Structure 1
Amino acid sequence: MKRSKEETYETIIKLKEVARKHFTEHGYAATVLDEIVKEASLTRGAVYHHFGSKKGLFLAVLESVQREVADKVESEAAQSENLWDQLILGCLAFVNAAVEEKNKRIMLIDGPAVLGWETWRSMDEQGSMRLLHEQLQLMQQQGYFESVSIEALTHILSGALNESALWIAQMPNVEESVEETFKIISLLLDRFKS
């Protein structure tokens, strides 16, 4: 009997939701595929059919996490019409989303370790880094950052945000650490402002 597209979609969503919970709570290495399929009331065959492997399932979960973070960045940046404020709001949204419990282990720790640095970096470039680059380009066209390489600034700022998120995720007072980070990020960006 053929499964409908809707049933297939529901199976994929269910597997990703349950897997995300397990990857968040236990990490990739300690997550057991049998526990995921049991909780999802599915079979290992469903995982292999839709994702190929545990690693393929993890990749799909990471893609979902990165999409959510990118959506959060866009949503927060859109709260202002001022380009400078959009940049700051977007950067702050990225860090806050990255350090959320449901995201940090998958996105910042296991992502690069499981998929490899190059794959993880490529995914980051297509998500949040792409949004950052677009914002910086727009700002340069509007007279900000006139004598600065936007490519270099994008990579430097993205690296600072990723490293800050890793640092903040380990701090006992996340809110205070985010505040400290954004004082420094704002000072850094002010130095490049035309």
Structure 2
Amino acid sequence: MAETRRRPRADRSEATRAKLVAAARELFREHGYGGVGTEEVVRRADVTRGALYHHFADKRDLFRAVHEQVEAETIAAIAAEMESAETPYALLETGIRSFLDVCTDPAVTRITLIDAPPVLGWAEWREIDMRHGLGLVVAGLQGAIDAGALAPRPVVPLAHLLVGAMGEAGMMIANADDPEAARAEVEPALLGLLEALRA
């Protein structure tokens, strides 16, 4: 009986947390981190201020949860796109193109590329980025090396370098006056880096 009472409370608590993250995500996307106050978040989420501080230490902690959610969804979307690739090398090309497509989405770039580095600090932002994306890049590179499409090299350092190049490409797109034009410029450069790794 006690367990059944606890479950609905836990469900309500999780639902409240999800409402806060969803409301904050909309507001951070629309106004940026600096343009949003916690009172706006609780009003949009239709919860109490106490509920916010029950789940999150402060606005930065809430932003971190939003950023984590955006990162996880972004990597899942890229991985889903990569599944359509017919060869291990095409899988890497598809992954790069999918990442660049995501970088033109203002809802993603505002949170992950513009606000996250200064709000979270470079080290924490990078740790989150690597935790979500590095494994996908390592697996893609290892698959291409195993298939003979790329020359054998130490995979983890290579993955870090490729993620770094992609991150800089993303920053270039996110901060451009014309993100679509910047994306068009950077795609052949990134694909050229990948081509240079061919066996």
TM-score scaled by length of structure 1:
0.92
The root-mean-square deviation of aligned C-alpha atoms, in Å, is 1.7
Aligned with 1:8 (options 13, 25, 33): 13
Counterpart CA distance in 2 for 1:152 and 1:178 is 25
Distance in 1 between the 2:104 and 2:118 partners? 17
Which SS does the other structure have where 2:196 is aligned? Answer: helix
Match of 1:86 among 72, 87, 91: 91
Deviation at 1:39, TM superposition (A): 1.5
- Give 1:58 shift: 0.6
Counterpart contact for 1:69–1:97, Cα < 8 Å: yes
- Return the alpha-carbon distance in structure 2 between the equivalents of residues 147 and 9 of structure 1: 46
The gaps in structure 1 that reach 5 residues or longer are none
Q: 2:183 aligns with which of 178, 181, 186?
A: 178
Q: Could you say what secondary structure the match of 1:192 adopts?
A: coil
What is residue 121 of structure 1 aligned with on the other side?
126
TM-score (norm: length of structure 2): 0.90
Residue 83 of structure 1: how far off its partner (Å): 1.0
* 1:95 aligned to which of 88, 97, 100: 100
Mapped contact 1:98–1:107 kept (Cα < 8 A): no
1:21 aligns with 2:26: yes
Question: Does structure 2 retain, via aligned residues, the 8 Å contact 1:95–1:162?
Answer: no
**How many residues are aligned here?**
194
Matching residue of 1:135: 140
Residue-by-residue CA offset, 1:76-133 (whole Å, 9 max, x unaligned): 1111121111111111111221331111121012111111111111111111222111
1:169 counterpart residue number: 174
Contact 2:100-2:187 within 8 A present in 1 as well: no
Please state how far the C-alpha of 1:158 moved relative to its aligned partner. Answer: 1.0
Whether 2:151 is the aligned partner of 1:146: answer yes
1:75 paired with 2:80, answer yes
The unaligned stretches of length 5 or more in structure 2 are: none
